[in-house]
Amino acid sequence: MADSLEGLGAVPEHERILQEIESTDTACVGPTLRSVYDDQPNAHKKFMEKLDACIRNHDKEIEKMCNFHHQGFVDAITELLKVRADAEKLKVQVTDTNRRFQDAGKEVIVQTEDIIRCRIQQRNITTVVEKLQLCLPVLEMYSKLKEQMSAKRYYSALKTMEQLENVYFPRVSQYRFCQLMIENLPKLREDIKEISMSDLKDFLESIRKHSDKIGETAMKQAQHQKTFSVALQKQSNVKFGKNVYINHERILGERNEITLKHVLEDEDENEEEVLTVQDLVDFSPVYRCLHIYSVLGDEETFENYYRKQRKKQARLVLQPQSSMHETVDGYRRYFTQIVGFFVVEDHILHVTQGLVTRAYTDELWNMALSKIIAVLRAHSSYCTDPDLVLELKNLIVIFADTLQGYGFPVNRLFDLLFEIRDQYNETLLKKWAGVFRDIFEEDNYSPIPIVSEEEYKIVISKFPFQDPDLEKSFPKKLPMSQSVPQIYIQVKEFIYASLKFSESLHRSSTEIDDMLRKSTNLLLTRTLSSCLLNLIKKPHIGLTELVQIIINTAHLEQACKYLEDFITNITNISQETIHTTRLYGLSTFKDARHAAEGEIYTKLNQKIDEFVQLADYDWTMSEPDGRASGYLMDLINFLRSIFQVFTHLPGKVAQTACMSACQHLSTSLMQMLLDSELKQISMGAVQQFNLDVIQCELFASSEPVPGFQGDTLQLAFIDLRQLLDLFMVWDWSTYLADYGQPASKYLRVNPNTALTLLEKMKDTSKKNNIFAQFRKNDRDKQKLIETVVKQLRTLVNGMSQHA
């Protein structure tokens, strides 16, 4: 029962599977068949049975359908067999008709084909004409482009390229020749850029070579214009009484008129020859290259290249030659190249739009100015010739005026000129030091002899000396030597030379006056003072020459006020002005005079030492000669003659020299007595030495130099006198008793000095008086000497302990 139920349940399932197989695509049958095997056992067998039953049903249905349509099929075949004969006849007729039509249409076909071919040709011709009419302007423009390239009309060629690209090429862009042209245009543009850049490089090289000529022309024009202005100004100053050079008014006035005349004549002659930068340089390559790059849209590249190359050229121009400082031509070539460079840049600035800007030129000028100042500062330091420094200054002024005319700031150059001015003054001081040395070497250090009034006028025209007493009779002698008017003239020449540098510096008269006075002060206080001091120290300068030098300095000192007047007349600045610098001639010549005085004292003492060295005392003599020593008498006679020469000196100088000589002589004589190498002195030698001191005192009392009061000069020998009196009188008891008292007779005798001299006399007594012990007086004297020596030693030791 269960199997039957199971079989009944499986039949509908198999029918459903068969329906799916019949209605489903064969690609999807697999899952359906798989379900047959997934069901209950023996499902496959049952399914196959069901499938066979289904097939038998379909076969029955097919057989029924075939039986139903078989008669119709037979009828159709019968009808086709009847129509076959008619179809064959129709075929023959159609074939024959087709042949007749083909034969009849051959000529028509030929004529039709000819017509078609002609119409195609006509259409092609029309198309070709239209296309040619469209292409001919393109070809003509391209041909024009080639001609412009050949003629080097590159800017026009670029404009033609723009027209081709914007107007003509779009019309014929489909043609191959157009593509070739389009591809060729970038190459042509690059060729134009390279050619124009090559022209620019040639231009840059050309202006680099000709920059010195450009600068020279610009500087000449600036100098010519300035000379003309200065000449007019000077003529105006002369007319209004403003000429400044003392004793040269008429000469300078005539010079100014002649200068102005020459300037006007030169201006008339050169009026038609004035050249501009455009006359010297062809700027067309720059304009052309700028336009070309502007059209190409690469203007920035061109500007950067131009500026970069010009900066390189600027660095080359600013690099000086190593030997530039040796000649003025080296400086001139340096300046002209720089001026030429910036004149070109200024022209480019004003005639082009944006190629160079004011900010660019200012930056370039500031860089150049710093380099120029450094170069000039370095090279000018090697210049030792004041004329070369002055020419350098003039070149810098022209250089600055030229560039200032083109709008470049030049204040730093004028500041540099003040540094160079100091160097110029240094070179002048060195030069004038040599001049002063030559003057001093050639001077005879004797008063100037005047034999006639004409000679006197010549001298006073050179040197401001006035003495009413000397103007009355001739011949005569002026107190100063020949070097004084020469020194005065050279100081004025120095002022003129210093003034030359101050010209054209755009400074006020007050500043010029201050510069002249300061430089003159340097000349007086440093150069002239140094030359005087060196002169005074020279060994060949004797006492007579030193006396004349002192006299000369006094007159030069008096002439300083005339030098101040001389500077005042040059600058028109009154000496009463609060800021006016005074000349330091008073201190300069006072120092030189003091040095000469000191040298007089030194040389006089040296001369005294030479005489003293000739002394030849017999320190063991028993009796004096009865007269003063010969060397001392020669020394006194020398001093008398020298002090007569000193009458021309100021009184205090002569008195000081005389007192110094006497004191030095006294000191030398004292040192002679106390010399450590002198071991013994006899009483006879002391008496002889006393005779010499007496001659010294007589010389002092004879007033060799007037002006001493009372016995002032004799006091120079007071130490010697008291010492010798002590030994001559042998008044030791008084000396020892009164020692240290203000009223002591032997106040100036030092115990050490007395002890030293007494010991030398004691030794002499022992050696020379071998038998003195057998004479009572001699024994008493020897005991007295020993007693005094002991007392003096006790006194000296007490002084040492007290000290």
User: Is omega for the bond preceding 386 within 30 degrees of 0, making it cis?
Assistant: no
Q: Please state, in angstroms and as integers, the Cα–Cα distance from residue 497 to each residue in 234, 263, 493, 500, 580, following that order.
A: 19, 24, 6, 5, 20
Instruction: Quote the CA–CA distance of 500 and 523 in Å, as a whole number.
Output: 16
Residues in the chain: 803
CB 500 within 8 Å of CB 390: yes
| Predicted confidence band of residue 492 (pLDDT cuts 50, 70, 90) | very high
Average pLDDT of the chain to the nearest whole number: 81
Mean pLDDT highest for which of 115-124, 370-379, 444-453? 115-124
Question: What token pair was written down for 784?
Answer: 């007295």
Helix axes 299-318, 284-295, angle to 10 degrees: 150
pLDDT beyond 60 at 252? no
What's the CA angle centered on 18, arms 14 and 21, to 5 degrees?
A: 140
CB 708 within 8 Å of CB 648: no
- The predicted-structure confidence for 384-397, as pLDDT tens digits, reads as follows 888 888 888 888 88
Integer Rg of the chain from CA: 66
Question: What token pair was written down for 39?
Answer: 């069901």
- DSSP letter string over 303-332? HHHHHHHHHHHHHHHH---TTGGG-HHHHH
Instruction: Quote the CA–CA distance of 803 and 799 in Å, as a whole number.
Output: 6
- The predicted-structure confidence for 128-165, as pLDDT tens digits, reads as follows 898 888 888 888 888 988 898 888 888 888 888 888 88
| Predicted confidence band of residue 206 (pLDDT cuts 50, 70, 90) | confident
Instruction: Quote the CA–CA distance of 459 and 749 in Å, as a whole number.
Output: 57
Q: Which helix (H) or strand (E) holds 116?
A: helix 106-150
State the pLDDT at residue 275: 62
pLDDT beyond 70 at 4? no
CB 44 within 8 Å of CB 36: yes
Report if pTM > 0.75: no
More confident residue, 572 or 3: 572
Q: Which residues contact 210 (CB under 8 A, 6 or more apart)?
A: 280, 281, 340
User: Among 61, 47, 45, 54, which Cα is nearest to 22's?
Assistant: 54
- DSSP letter string over 404-459? HHTT---HHHHHHHHHHHHHHHHHHHHHHHHHHHHHHHH---SPEEE-SHHHHHHH
- Three-state DSSP class for residue 138: helix
Instruction: Give the position of tokens 């190359």.
Output: 309
pLDDT beyond 60 at 551? yes
- Three-state DSSP class for residue 478: strand
Q: Note the helical H segments in 271-382.
A: 277-280, 284-295, 299-318, 328-351, 358-380
CB 524 within 8 Å of CB 590: no
